[in-house]
């Protein structure tokens, strides 16, 4: 009896390890293949049958991408747009989160629901009107115009992430400070914000990565080199009859790196933020 139970326990564990290893291969192999393809020379890139591992390593595709005359302009556009929308969204998000968690006024529930609805809104529905608005106020092909459209998805996102964290900050310290005569603004800037810093940093990081990865809005709204972001520029490189696979793969690999680093560092905080505070722990 006990013996068979130990055997079945060991077998169960072995099955678990097997499953983990299989999923590991499935999850990691495409990423590995991206790197190994981007690092091989032309002849090996188009070898038939395809090679699992490159025989010679080369950085020529990465060099080629970096030598595109406009690569750094696109890079700059991506950085400006992502930073701008992050700063604005997190600032607005912090204020909204304070308001939702600390305020006691009528319409608060409606307000927090409206943010959640905005969070779930189909982006495709907003494209035409945002295009009209941005053109209408003379912000077509400016960084700020694109930043404004990014706020539509990044502000509800950061607000919700911050709400779930602000809720966990104990109110005793604030109340003690208020008894000592501190104003609400002081409590917000000198007690709540410093305590919420981990969440603020996480929200900022995610907002930045979301904007950095964004394709649809930039594709429709950023047509000129002045505003084109890296993903859209990569899309236009792909154009033409023959896909230039070498540079395309190297460029893709470069795009993955920032989000890879950030997501792996912040994996713990992802869940609570994205599921709008509905998942505890």
Partner 1 sequence: MKNGQGNKIGKRGLLKYLDDHLAQLFIVPALICLALLVAYPALLTLYNSMTNLSMLTMSANKFVGLKNYTTVLQGSEFWVSLLNSLVYTFFSILGQFVFGFISALALQRITKGRTFFRTAFLIPWTFPSIALTFLWTWMLDPSFGILNFILMKIGIISDPIPWFSMKSTALASVIAMNIWFGFPFIMLSFCAGLQTIPVEYYEVGKIEGVNFFQELRYIVFPGLKRIIGVLLILRTIWVFNNYDFIFLTTGGGPNISSQTVPIYAYFTAWKRMAMGRGSAITILLLVFVSLFIALYFKLFKINDQEADE
Residues in 205-234 that interact with partner 1 by CB under 8 A: 212-213, 215-216, 220, 231, 234
- 42 near partner 1 (CB under 8 A): no
Query: Does 105 contact partner 1 by CB under 8 A?
Result: yes
Q: Which of 151, 200, 203, 222 binds partner 1 (CB under 8 A)?
A: 151
CB of 5: closest distance to partner 1 in angstroms? 9
CA neighbor of 209 nearest in space, from 120, 124, 163, 273: 273
Contact status: 96 vs partner 1 (CB under 8 A): yes
**30 vs 28: CA distance, rounded Å:** 6
In the set 82, 146, 163, 221, which binds partner 1 (CB under 8 A)?
163
Q: How far apart are CA 163 and CA 249, in angstroms?
A: 39
Q: Which of residues 235-274 bind partner 1 (CB under 8 A)?
A: 235, 238, 243, 245, 248-249, 252-253, 255-256, 259-260, 262-264, 267, 270-272, 274
Cis peptide leading into residue 49 (ω within 30°): yes
- Cβ atoms of 86 and 208 within 8 Å: the answer is yes
- Indicate whether 6 belongs to the interface with partner 1 (CB under 8 A): no
Minimum distance between the CB of residue 279 and partner 1, rounded to whole angstroms?
5
Contact between 34 and partner 1 (CB under 8 A)? yes
Handedness of CA 66, 72, 135, 95 (dihedral sign): positive
181 lies in the binding site for partner 1 (CB under 8 A): no
Are 166 and 98 spatial neighbours (Cβ–Cβ below 8 Å)? Answer: yes
Question: What is the nearest approach in angstroms of partner 1 to the Cβ of residue 124?
Answer: 4
127: left (phi over 0), alpha (psi -120 to 50) or beta: alpha
User: Which tokens belong to 274?
Assistant: 């994205």
Options 148, 196, 199, 221; binder of partner 1; rule CB under 8 A: 148
Give the nearer residue to partner 1 in terms of CB position, either 23 or 201. 23
Using the rule CB under 8 A, is 277 a contact of partner 1? yes
Judged by CB under 8 A, which of 55, 57, 63, 132 binds partner 1? 132
Burial class, 227, CB count within 10 angstroms (exposed 0-12 / middle 13-18 / buried 19+): buried
Token pair for residue 1?
């009896």
Applying CB under 8 A, among 6, 7, 10, 28 the residue interacting with partner 1 is 28
Cα-only R_g, the chain = 24
173 binds partner 1 (CB under 8 A): no
Least distance (Å) between residue 60 CB and partner 1: 17
Of 109, 138, 179, 241, the one binding partner 1 (CB under 8 A) is 109
Smallest separation, CB 59 to partner 1 (Å)? 18
- Find, among 245, 223, 241, the residue nearest to 232 by Cα: 223
Cβ partners under 8 Å of residue 141, min gap 6:
222, 223, 224, 226, 227
């Amino acid at each position: 009896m006990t013996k068979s139970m130990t055997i079945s326990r060991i077998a169960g564990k072995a099955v678990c390890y097997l499953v983990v290893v299989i999923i590991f291969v499935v999850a990691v192999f495409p990423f590995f293949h991206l790197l190994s393809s981007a690092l091989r020379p032309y002849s090996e890139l188009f070898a038939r049958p395809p090679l699992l591992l490159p025989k010679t390593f080369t950085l020529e595709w990465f060099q080629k991408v970096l030598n595109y005359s406009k690569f750094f302009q696109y890079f700059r556009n991506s950085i400006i747009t992502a930073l701008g929308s992050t700063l604005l969204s997190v600032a607005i998000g912090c204020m909204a989160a304070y308001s939702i968690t600390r305020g006691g006024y009528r319409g608060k529930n409606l307000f927090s629901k409206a943010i959640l609805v905005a969070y779930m809104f189909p982006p495709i529905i907003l494209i035409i009107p945002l295009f009209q608005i941005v053109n209408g106020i003379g912000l077509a092909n400016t960084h700020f115009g694109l930043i404004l459209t990014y706020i539509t998805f990044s502000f509800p996102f950061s607000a919700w992430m911050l709400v779930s964290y602000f809720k966990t900050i104990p109110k005793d310290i604030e109340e003690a400070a208020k008894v000592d005569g501190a104003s609400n603004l002081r409590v917000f800037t000198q007690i709540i914000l410093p305590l919420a810093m981990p969440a603020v940093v996480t929200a900022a990081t995610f907002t930045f990565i979301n904007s950095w990865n964004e394709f649809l809005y930039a594709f429709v709204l950023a047509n000129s080199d002045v505003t084109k972001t890296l993903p859209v520029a990569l899309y236009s490189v792909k154009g033409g009859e023959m896909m230039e696979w070498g540079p395309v793969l190297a460029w893709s690999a470069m795009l993955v790196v920032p989000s890879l680093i950030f997501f792996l560092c912040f994996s713990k905080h992802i869940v609570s933020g994205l599921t709008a505070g509905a998942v505890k722990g």
